[in-house]
Chain A
Amino acid sequence: MSVEIELSSIFGRFTDNKLTFQVEGRTVGECLKELFKQYPKLEKLLLNKEGRLQHAYDVYVNGESAYPKEMTKKVKDGDKLNLVFIIYGG
């Protein structure tokens, strides 16, 4: 399954400012792992010790939240993932 991942600009510091990726995977977790192979620092930032997405980050699949079981959420060919963080400034 070919899936597009779009990252918020804030993650650019971990990905040499590249923000869109085409990856293969059947679940959100598999897609993110493909991304983490290239950018291991991103994995440390996003996942907790149990391998779950940290609470301060959200994944949207085709514009809809993948919460609460983000990592096991199934994806299909052509889906788009958005990875965002909780913005708190004002």
Chain B
Amino acid sequence: MLTERELQRYDRQIMLYGFGEEGQEKLKRARVFIAGAGGLGSPISIYLAAAGIGTIRIADHDKVELSNLNRQVLHWEENIGDCKADSAVEKLGKFNPNIKIEAIAETITDASVSKLVGDSDLIVDAMDNLPTRYLLNKTAIDKKIPFFHGAVYGFEGRAMTVIPGKSACLNCVYHGAAAPSEKFPVIGVTPAVIGCIQAAEVIKYITGLGELLTDRLLNFDALKMKFNEFRVKRDPDCEHCGKL
């Protein structure tokens, strides 16, 4: 049941065809796990908080550094040295005090990931490395919850939605390939675009609206100002989802 204040706050999206109060109530009941409170995690969490997601659990073990501020818009100069998860919760809590926001200042590891994700309805990928992405992809498949992939590098970004057992997963696409885990170049607008695409996918999934970005890898190149879409398929021999 939505309060008068919620009806007012979310009025413009409740107006959307097919959305209505029912859609808003679905968002209110939703529990979302965001892995990372950096470049991608900032727009994802801001727009999911704005949309009225009932519970946002955001995990990041890093502290805010000056060099983060070109893209990680959740964190400000005054937060340098603070834990990113705490900084995120502080901002998001002020932005929308009517939702529950949980900070997890822990490293996502093989041993901890299942507990950290807990009973969340879905996982949003806002990580900065490939190994943890595979871990989250596998965890989502094991828990049979969706995984919303996003990644950025320079002026380029990529997004894909994974519905376990129904659509290609991250491992189907990359086949366990490794990429160097090193400092990467990035301009803030790239994670802003990709993070908003991921947030849109989450909202669509929860409300049941539209077509999801499944079996399609969306590639954004800001230098060309172009989106390319690549068709991807489930790999029956995939080590992550092949047995589903």
B158 touches A87 (CB 8 A): yes
Contacting B at CB under 8 A, from A44-90, are 55-56, 60, 63-65, 67-68, 82, 84-90
Complex Cα distance, B129 from A90, in Å, reads: 7
**A35 on interface, CB distance cutoff 8 Å:** no
Contact check, A88 vs B231: say whether CB atoms are below 8 A apart.
no
- Is there an interface contact between A89 and B232, defined as CB atoms closer than 8 Å? no
A-B contact count (CB 8 A): 85
Q: Is B174 an interface residue (CB 8 A)?
A: yes
State whether B224 touches A87 (Cβ < 8 A).
no
**Interface: A19 (CB within 8 A):** yes
Asked if A8 lies at the interface with its beta carbon under 8 angstroms from chain B, I say yes
A1 an interface residue at 8 Å Cβ cutoff? no
Nearest A-chain residue to B133, judged by Cβ: A88
Which residues of A are found within 8 Å of B174, using beta-carbon distances?
86
* Interface pair B156/A8, CB less than 8 Å apart: yes
Is B178's CB within 8 Å of the partner chain A? yes
Contact of A9 among B40, B41, B155, B178 (CB under 8 A): B155
Beta-carbon contact of A90 and B179 below 8 Å: no
Q: Per a CB cutoff under 8 Å, which of A8, A60, A67, A86 touches B221?
A: A8
Partner of B230, one of A9, A56, A65, A88: A65
Contact: A55 with B152, CB < 8 Å? no
From B157, which residue of chain A is reached at the shortest CB distance?
Answer: A87
A55 touching B150 in the complex, CB below 8 Å, given contacts A84-B219, A88-B130: no
Identity of the chain A residue whose Cβ is nearest the Cβ of B151 in the assembled complex: A87
Q: Which residues of B contact A82 (CB under 8 A)?
A: 219, 228, 230
Q: How far is the CA of A19 from the CA of B155 in the complex (A)?
A: 14
Q: Is B154 an interface residue (CB 8 A)?
A: yes
Contact of A88 among B184, B219, B232 (CB under 8 A): B184
Chain A residue nearest to B184 (CB atoms) is A89
Pairwise interchain contact B151-A88, C-beta atoms closer than 8 A: yes
- State which of A6, A8, A67, A89 has its C-beta within 8 Å of the C-beta of B152: A89
Interface mask (B25-54 → A, CB under 8 Å = 1, otherwise 0): 000000000001011110000000000000
Query: Cβ of B151: which chain A residues have Cβ within 8 Å of it?
Result: 87-90
Q: Would B230 and A86 count as touching, CB distance under 8 A?
A: no
Contact with A along B218-238 (1 / 0, CB 8 A): 010101100011111100000
Further 9 A-B residue pairs, CB within 8 A, beyond A6-B228, A9-B221, A87-B152: A9-B155, A10-B154, A55-B175, A63-B228, A82-B228, A86-B179, A87-B158, A88-B153, A90-B36
Can you list 11 A-B pairs with a CB-CB distance of less than 8 A?
A10-B153, A56-B178, A56-B179, A67-B175, A86-B177, A87-B152, A89-B39, A89-B152, A89-B184, A90-B36, A90-B38
Which 9 pairs between the two chains have the least Cβ-Cβ distance?
A: A89-B184, A90-B128, A55-B177, A9-B223, A87-B151, A88-B179, A87-B153, A88-B130, A86-B179
